[in-house]
Chain A
Amino acid sequence: MSVHLSGSAKNLLDQARGLFIPLLVLIIWQGVTANGWVNPHILPSPLKVVMKWWEYLMPLTPYQEGGYFTWLVSGELIQDAYASLFRVIGGFAMGTAIALPLGLLMGANRQVYSLLNPLFQLLRPIPPIAYIPLAILWFGLGNPPAFFLISMGAFFPVLMNTIAGVKNVDSIYLRVARNLGAGKFTTFTRIIVPAAMPYILTGMRIGMGTAFIVVIVAEMIAVNNGLGYRILEAREYMWSDKIIAGMFTIGLFGLGIDGIMNLLNNHLLRWRSGIDQR
């Protein structure tokens, strides 16, 4: 016999179930490390990671004078996170700003497509990370190569999905638009672009994911701050607790960005019937 639960109770149960495995991992991790079964330099206890995280988050010097807020955000973690976020968003925006109009044009115009597609097909399989040596050679160290690399990471997913989105617009919408008397420009802005929007947003989401990978790698090699730089630096001092704290910070950021992209997605595509939007 099954017990009937109301929707919210079921939700709560689902959430509780979701917490079970992470908690179990945490307990085993704590158990294994607290007893000294593993070398703490290899794997620190979760408690030590949390303590290091807190230390990493807090300002390096005690509060003296000046703006309280400035002091509060002067901690290493906040500075690093800000630097990484700035790079991801800037690079992503640059990549998307080029890929989106280009993709719309390539999807809608056969001549432009046949002109540019071979080049992009040739460049596309090159992972953005493979551009690092060239990026350093061209732009030196610091933000410029990072922006270049991140925008490369975002560029191809947005481009490819936008092209596919435009090419896959159901021809019946185009027929209706012609029947209603829509010209080329109106058809493009009011029919093709919204019809391609699901693809475009998927491309942006994948592009954001790639941008996030690239920012960490770029910071490990071409920049000397940011979350990627910090965890590599921590390795040199054998601070495994700081490495793990940094990794979790990166994970949380990725989760946050994806959540925001998802909200944007659900808002822009509210007209769509989907299984997760009921």
Chain B
Amino acid sequence: MLIDIHHLNKRYITSEGEFFALKDINITVHEGEFICLLGPSGCGKSTLLNAIAGFSLPTSGTILINGEQNTAKTPGPDRGMVFQEYALFPWMTVAQNISFGLEIKNVPTEEINSKVESLLQQLNLYAFRASYPKDLSGGMRQRVAIARVLALDSPIMLMDEPFGALDALTRQTLQDELLNLWAKFHKTIIFVTHSIDESIYLADRVLVMSYRPGTIKQDIRINLERPRDTTCAEFNTLKRELTQSIMEEHARANA
């Protein structure tokens, strides 16, 4: 197992009293798994992702990365993160954005160049290598953000609603590209989304989260063969089941 989470709690104290953003979370993620964290907004799925990334420390409980307890206490390139708002460095070109992480690691220049070039080719970004992010579409920007993480060879990819801001068609294209990259680079992916369709289409396992306290409500294995047909009966059965579960939480969130 690659990521092992035991009895994880995250408590916030606000003017309205204290509440548990995360309560008694126990998850085991195996190497090469594609996990989707699904839940309504405010259920703590991003909080959980940030805890794994090392951006915010939990109140109690442990996160083991490869059996190591200290890893998750600071952010690092072994857990590359892709953000919904792309978060590309606007003053760097596409190629510079991708090579930045490698330059930090003091990788030799020729190696950086060949690696960046190959990623640019694989993600259909080669023609835009000298462009600045402002000149790219949303889909292109997210490809660069993915390439930036791939360049680091991180075994784990953390994705925080990465396709949330994209139009439906671009989103679908990127979902397929992501699945290809996932298979090709043997990544372990934790992918946060509030789209039920997206989670069933992508994941090996969908973890449904509840709203306040944030717990893992369901852990559903998706046994459909890829590429998945979003119109088939099994897909829709799962969708009905998950929709009901999510709507309960959504109703509580808006009560």
Contacts and interface: CB of A to CB of B under 8 A. Distances in A.
Nearest to A182: B104
A91 B231 CA distance: 72
> Which bucket holds chain A's interface residue count?
20 to 34
A121 interface: no
A154 B118 CA distance: 48
A179 B132 contact: no
Contact of B81 (A179, A191, A197, A271): A179
A180 B101 contact: yes
Nearest to A195: B91
27 contacts: A172-B85, A175-B75, A175-B87, A176-B83, A176-B87, A176-B89, A178-B75, A179-B53, A179-B55, A179-B77, A179-B79, A180-B80, A180-B100, A180-B101, A180-B104, A180-B148, A180-B152, A181-B77, A181-B101, A181-B104, A182-B100, A183-B104, A195-B89, A271-B91, A271-B133, A271-B134, A272-B134
Interface residues of B, number: 25
Interface of B is mostly: loop
B42 interface: no
B90 interface: yes
A270 interface: yes
Contact of A175 (B55, B74, B92, B134): B55
Interface in B54-97: 55, 74-77, 79-81, 83, 85, 87, 89-92
Interface of A: 172-173, 175-176, 178-183, 186, 190-191, 194-195, 197, 270-273
Interface of B: 53, 55, 74-77, 79-81, 83, 85, 87, 89-92, 100-101, 104-105, 132-134, 148, 152
Nearest to B90: A271
Nearest to B134: A273
Contacts of B74: 178
Contacts of A186: 104
